[in-house]
Amino acid sequence: MPNLANMTVKKNDGTTDIVWTGVVPSAGDKTPAVWKSQTVGTADSQRPELKLSSRDNGPATARRLDGTFTYPTLATGSDGKVNVVDRMIINISAVKPKAMIDADVNEAVSQAMNLFGSTLIKDSFKQGYAPT
């Protein structure tokens, strides 16, 4: 089982590193681990967040993992207060069969994550449309 740790990823410019701080480890099934980007906002509720939880499926033949990424848009009101005015939410879910051999699991996860990280898929999410 992995341990909660900070993660460093590239920003949209493809050059700048951004650290996502592990702020809450999972306490077990159905309880998410939580990471936050400390570089956005001045209050916890204004920060981008990633949550990842896991649990058995109904018959306990597979593990289900659910991730939710939330990124806010901030605006300063006429009173000078910074407010969250909108949020983009990206969900990802996986079902990992317990009987699937490790080599196939490794290949499936690597290819899926690489596809989600491809320029075509990223552009589709940025524009809000599937490729035509």
Looking up tokens 């499926």 gives 57
CB count within 10 Å of CB 2 equals 8
* Residue pair 42/54 in contact by the 8 Å Cβ criterion: no
Phi-psi group of 60: left, alpha or beta (phi > 0 → left; psi -120 to 50 → alpha; rest → beta): left
Strands of the chain, DSSP E: 7-10, 17-24, 33-37, 49-56, 62-76, 82-97
Q: Where are the domains of the chain?
A: 7-99, 101-132
> In this predicted model, what pLDDT tens digit does every residue of 3-45 receive, in sequence order?
999 999 999 999 999 999 999 999 999 999 999 999 888 899 9
**pLDDT recorded at residue 41:** 87
pTM, two decimals, is 0.90
> In this predicted model, what pLDDT tens digit does every residue of 45-95 receive, in sequence order?
999 999 999 999 999 999 999 999 999 999 999 999 999 999 999 999 999
* Residue pair 122/114 in contact by the 8 Å Cβ criterion: no
Distance of CA 77 to the CA centre of its chain: 29
First to last CA, the chain: 40
Q: Sorting pLDDT into bands at 50, 70 and 90, what band is 1?
A: confident
**pLDDT recorded at residue 81:** 93
Instruction: Please tell me the CATH code under which domain 7-99 is placed.
Output: 3.30.380.10
